[in-house]
Amino acid sequence: MSLIEVLPAEGYRRLRLNRPEKRNALSPELLRELSLQLHQAQEEPNVRVLVIEGAGPAFCAGADLAYLHQLTQFTPMENLADSELLMRVLWQLYTYPKPTIAKVHGPAIAGGCGLASACDIIVAARNGARFGYSEVRLGFVPALVGVLLVHKIGEQRARRLLLTAELISAEEAERLGLVGYVVEDEQLDAFVEELARRLASYSTASLQLTKAILSAVQSMPPESALHYAAGLNVLARTTEEFRIGVEAFLKGKSS
């Protein structure tokens, strides 16, 4: 059985975490397979948007508890290699050149919450979705996921979630800026499909360049960021999609 189900859709792709009996807990095998599927989807021009979801009742419950027990027997170098695997997958998703949507229908905990946070937009089911970083309860550290959370919602709000390890509702996660949309549980599938199709209808080049700006400018001084953005503006204006879009807009204004 594949740990990542590939579910084709028109203009976008659904990648479903497929360990429902383990609440889609992260394992090295799942992470490697997810990374491979991310790479393959990136290379396919017909895949313009990516949706990450989970099979069964949970989105992702974080690390596999049995595997966590194994980690206690690992050497420092083995633990470093394991940590770097998760780091690479989170960074691959965070810097992905195509829009990414996390479709969260159930609990997204610890590393699972980090996986969702690495996506551009989280769409959450109002009643089913829950979010939390439980690492400190286990004597663990929310290190990698914490870095992404700070970028996502800011330091003060991240301190609350990471230090208290509290489980929050979809609506509270939206209030804190973690979740982009909260929808009724029964409307989640249709909402995500409509959103993915809408994003897939936009200019591929525009979306990729916009994501490049978002990934790069946070670490730049304002003046450097503006120079970088000006350069991307030049690139965008040389694309065929820009020319077609402007002509269509002007034609619509004149009609």
* CATH code for the domain in which residue 161 is found: 3.90.226.10
3-state secondary structure of 221: coil
Q: Do residues 64 and 26 lie in contact, with contact meaning Cβ atoms separated by under 8 Å? A: yes
Reported confidence tier of residue 119, pLDDT bands at 50, 70, 90: very high
Answer yes or no: do 187 and 210 share one domain.
Answer: no
- CA dist 51 and 119 (Å) reads 9
Answer yes or no: do 175 and 226 share one domain.
Answer: no
Domain count, the chain: 2
Q: Average pLDDT of 99-121? A: 97
Answer yes or no: do 243 and 121 share one domain.
Answer: no
Residue at which a domain ends, from 157, 185, 200? 200
Answer yes or no: do 95 and 174 share one domain.
Answer: yes
**Candidate from 90-94, 96-100, 142-146, 213-217 with smallest mean pLDDT:** 213-217
Tell me which DSSP letter residue 2 carries: -
Please list, in sequence order, all residues whose beta carbon lies within 8 angstroms of the beta carbon of residue 195, skipping any fewer than 6 positions away: 101, 121, 123, 181
Residue at which a domain ends, from 164, 180, 200? 200
Answer yes or no: do 74 and 103 share one domain.
Answer: yes
Q: Do residues 124 and 174 lie in contact, with contact meaning Cβ atoms separated by under 8 Å? A: yes
Answer yes or no: do 173 and 239 share one domain.
Answer: no
Helix ranges restricted to H, the chain = 28-43, 65-71, 76-94, 111-117, 143-153, 155-164, 170-175, 188-200, 204-216, 222-237, 240-254
The residues assigned a catalytic role are 135
Q: Average pLDDT of 233-254? A: 64
160-198: per-residue pLDDT in tens?
A: 999 999 999 999 999 999 999 999 999 999 999 999 999
What is the pLDDT at residue 100?
98
Answer yes or no: do 90 and 20 share one domain.
Answer: yes
- CA dist 139 and 255 (Å) reads 65
Q: Do residues 67 and 29 lie in contact, with contact meaning Cβ atoms separated by under 8 Å? A: no
Tell me which DSSP letter residue 26 carries: B
> Phi, psi at residue 248, to the nearest 5°?
-65, -40
Answer yes or no: do 100 and 213 share one domain.
Answer: no
Answer yes or no: do 192 and 209 share one domain.
Answer: no
Among candidates 118, 122, 119, 120, which has minimal Cα distance to 103? 122
Q: Do residues 181 and 123 lie in contact, with contact meaning Cβ atoms separated by under 8 Å? A: yes
∠ CA 130-133-138, rounded to 5°: 125
Answer yes or no: do 146 and 211 share one domain.
Answer: no
- Total Cβ atoms within 10 A of residue 39: 11
Average pLDDT across the chain, whole number: 89
Question: Which domain covers residue 233, as residue numbers?
Answer: 204-254
Residue at which a domain ends, from 183, 200, 217? 200
∠ CA 94-191-30, rounded to 5°: 40
Answer yes or no: do 64 and 88 share one domain.
Answer: yes
What is the pLDDT at residue 254?
53
Answer yes or no: do 92 and 213 share one domain.
Answer: no
